[in-house]
Structure 1
Amino acid sequence: MNLKKQFQEYTPCNAQEEKDREIILRYMDTFDNLLTRENEFAHFTASAWLVNKERTKVLMAYHNIYNSWSWVGGHADGEENLLYVAIKEAKEETGLVNVEPVSSDIYSIEILGVPAHEKRGQHVATHVHLNVTYLLEADEDELTQIKPDENSDIAWMEIDEAVEASTEPEMKVVYRKLNEKLRVYQAR
């Protein structure tokens, strides 16, 4: 299923997702380069809420640019299959070999503001990430490995502890939402 159709069929869980979905669909009709960083204003990213098999913990990485514990993920860089991107990035950023989707469906959507920063010696202007999150699963006993150019630590955390470990107020809101969805998902 193409990305636009996935967004059209996605059922938002709250007002934030409803508004972000509306804006993302509008951007998809306006821009033809949202899958690449060529669009310096807005482009797609894919993130993973990477949980253990019991779904009681999430794997977080200490992100070097933001100096905060955060989820894993990255830019689409031309790839329309954002689930593939989320899995690839989760593996690259954690060293895990076995990462599986709990579902192939979009788990969450958000438009995330990214402040200006330096990356690999280059200035990156303020922009937004049109982010799609997937619920992924891994064995917490599998060996992890940091990716020094992106993170300086990796740790499994209780799901509520993961929210508190983040120093980014706007991301705490997102992580709380993901945990609320996880609790509903577990109750099914």
Structure 2
Amino acid sequence: MEYTLTEQIRSYQPMNEQEERDKELILHCLETEKNIFTRQNRLAHMTASAWIVNPERTKVLMAYHNIYHSWSWLGGHADGETDLLKVALKEAREESGIHHVKPVSEQIYSLEVLTVDGHVKRGEYVSSHLHLNVTYLLQAEETDVLHIKEDENSNVGWFSLEDAVAASTEPWFQEHIYRKLNEKLVNIK
């Protein structure tokens, strides 16, 4: 029996207060907002992110994001797709060039509500909004050839777990997201 994303989020066990509160907000938006899986909803969009590790789980794959001027995880908008694992896998391939990426688990790895400041994308202003984000733990080989996606990033590379946190220039992500994702690796088999 396949569970809907809402059911998966409802059954997700938060690791900390941030995930607990964000889970509540994501569920509220899924139940009350229209077009939440598309960018037509100008307040919030469903997104999927990938924390991509090597098989030994000693390194993480990150991209240098052109909009945020920071090394970050990979991911993107649902754009109408309700299978967010599928979105995370697609974005991982598109943003890094890796072909041999697979889920460590099909279960949700983490939940976040992320603020996105207003910015210009493809010559058009995008107002500040929220990303209602579901993160999946993916695995890839370090030997896979990497490619940038010029309209989104300018570099892609493997980092040790600690260096991945340090490479980010976004303090909130360092403290509340990337460290948390690394801490959770301890409990993954």
- Shorter-normalised TM-score: what interval? over 0.9
| Equivalence map 1:1-188=2 (5 Å) | 1-173=3-175, 174-185=177-188, 188=189
In structure 1, the gaps of 5 or more residues are none
Residues 12-58 of structure 1, C-alpha deviations (whole Å, 9 max, x = no match): 01001000001111111111311000011001000000000111000
Shift of 1:170: 1.2
State the alpha-carbon separation in 2 of the partners of residues 89 and 95 from structure 1: 10
Which aligned runs of 4 or more in structure 1 are off by greater than 2 angstroms? none
Letter of the structure 2 residue corresponding to residue 118 of structure 1: V
State the alpha-carbon separation in 2 of the partners of residues 126 and 164 from structure 1: 26
Shift of 1:184: 2.4
State the alpha-carbon separation in 2 of the partners of residues 28 and 66 from structure 1: 27
State the alpha-carbon separation in 2 of the partners of residues 170 and 33 from structure 1: 28
State the alpha-carbon separation in 1 of the partners of residues 140 and 153 from structure 2: 19
Aligned residues: 186
Shift of 1:131: 0.3
TM-score after normalising by structure 2? 0.97
Letter of the structure 2 residue corresponding to residue 59 of structure 1: L
SS across alignment from 2:90: helix
SS across alignment from 1:180: helix
Q: Sequence identity, in percent? A: 58
State the alpha-carbon separation in 2 of the partners of residues 40 and 98 from structure 1: 34
What RMSD, in angstroms, separates the aligned Cα atoms of the two structures?
Answer: 0.7
Letter of the structure 2 residue corresponding to residue 175 of structure 1: Y
